[in-house]
Amino acid sequence: MARIEGFVAMSHSPFWDTNAPVSGPGETFVRGVAEARAAVARIKPDAVVIFGPDHFRNFFYDVLPPFCIGLESVVGFGDYGTPKGELPLDRALARAIQAGVTEAGFDPAVSLKMGIDHGLSQAYAVLEPSLKTPMVPIMVNASGSPRPTMRRCHAFGKAVGDAIRAMPDNKRVLILASGGLSHWIRPVSEEDPATTAETRDYVINGRERVVEYSAARDASLQERIKQGVDGRVNAEWDRWFLDTLSSGDLSPILSLTDDVLQENAGNGSHELRAWVAAMGAWGGPVAPIAYEPVRSWVTGMGCLGGFAGDMAKGRAA
């Protein structure tokens, strides 16, 4: 039977240049990610099942599912220096997951040519730099409401884990989650009164304008980096979240509402649904590997891990 050999959850950020050495802000986090990468290399996964968000580059309000599984092809958008073009996908594993979660009572969307942006591809590329290990991408909607509840995400993730373990072949699988931690971004959800009319039109009708939109966002990011960025981060809440996941009692997290989450950790923290879903799939103990509030990256950057027979040691700045 297939075995889930490890779990990693990590933050992503457009401001993090993963192709350059990091010194100063972000260094502690990046050092922790290197530890996670070494642990992943030791278990030599045959496939990576990755949960993460999309940032209105592949999914729009014309059709916005709570979950989507890539089944046949996965294409990196290439935003913010992340992989562009076709990436390897484990079709047999993807089909088994889709069948398993359906049997468990879930009805995710499926894609035979699934696009992913930095919300999924940055973490994958950092942990698997050769880009050779096949993935199964699972998009968890976090960008705009209606979003699946934390409890629903965890239950869905458990169904994914059960489906993986039910596979008859002797496959080693890594569960990976990408998103969060606390960060405040410009409003994009259609129901948020702070979302501008221009942005609201884009998230509904922007599918044909996405290349132009993304290029403008990339250029804006570079300008913000030049000018210097001092983003809002709630380090106290981030540490609470990491500690709660590590405690094994997820009930305080599963009961979080959108309003409470957004008030304490920002509208960008909805991405932590991916962590909760991945925790459901993993189902084992985890420990913090690194945490650092990186205001110049506009995000509380965290990394959490668990590995069969070799638990990650907690190191929090």
Span 122-168, pLDDT tens digits: 999 999 999 999 999 999 999 888 999 999 999 999 999 999 999 99
SS3 content of the chain, % helix, strand, coil (to 5): 40, 20, 35
Is 317 among the domain residues?
no
Mapping DSSP to helix (H, G, I), strand (E, B) and coil, where does residue 203 land? helix
- Give me the domain span that covers residue 208: 3-307
Please give the Cα distance from 13 to 301 (Å, whole number).
8
Is 85 among the domain residues?
yes
Is 312 among the domain residues?
no
Tens digit of each residue's pLDDT (9 = 90 or more) over 202-225: 999 999 999 998 888 888 878 888
Give me the catalytic one of 12, 55, 154, 183: 183
Q: What is the pLDDT of residue 222?
A: 82
Give me the catalytic one of 55, 118, 154, 270: 118
Residue of 5, 3, 7 whose CA lies nearest to 275:
7
Is 270 among the domain residues?
yes
Q: Residue 118 catalytic?
A: yes
Number of separate domains in the chain = 1
Q: Which amino acid is at 117?
A: D
Q: Residue 183 catalytic?
A: yes
pLDDT band of residue 310 (cuts 50, 70, 90) is low
Is 215 among the domain residues?
yes
Q: Domain of 82: which CATH number?
A: 3.40.830.10
Q: What is the pLDDT of residue 229?
A: 81
Is 246 among the domain residues?
yes
Residues 6+ apart with CB under 8 A from 191: 144, 145
Give the pairing of strands 3-10 and 299-307: antiparallel
Tokens encoding 116: 């992913």
Q: Is the distance from CB of 157 to CB of 276 less than 8 angstroms?
A: yes
pLDDT band of residue 235 (cuts 50, 70, 90) is very high
Is 236 among the domain residues?
yes
Over the range 86-120, which residues count as b (16 or more CB within 10 Å of their CB) and which as e? ebebbeebbbbbbebbeeeebebebbeebbbbbbb
Q: Is the distance from CB of 17 to CB of 24 less than 8 angstroms?
A: no
Q: Is the distance from CB of 261 to CB of 194 less than 8 angstroms?
A: no
Q: What backbone phi and psi angles, to 5 degrees, belong to 137?
A: -85, 135
Judged on CB neighbours under 10 Å (0-12, 13-18, 19+), 213 is middle
Is 316 among the domain residues?
no
Tens digit of each residue's pLDDT (9 = 90 or more) over 240-297: 999 999 999 999 999 999 999 999 999 999 999 999 999 999 999 999 999 999 999 9
- DSSP state at residue 170: -
Side-chain half-sphere of 96: how many Cα atoms within 13 Å?
A: 18
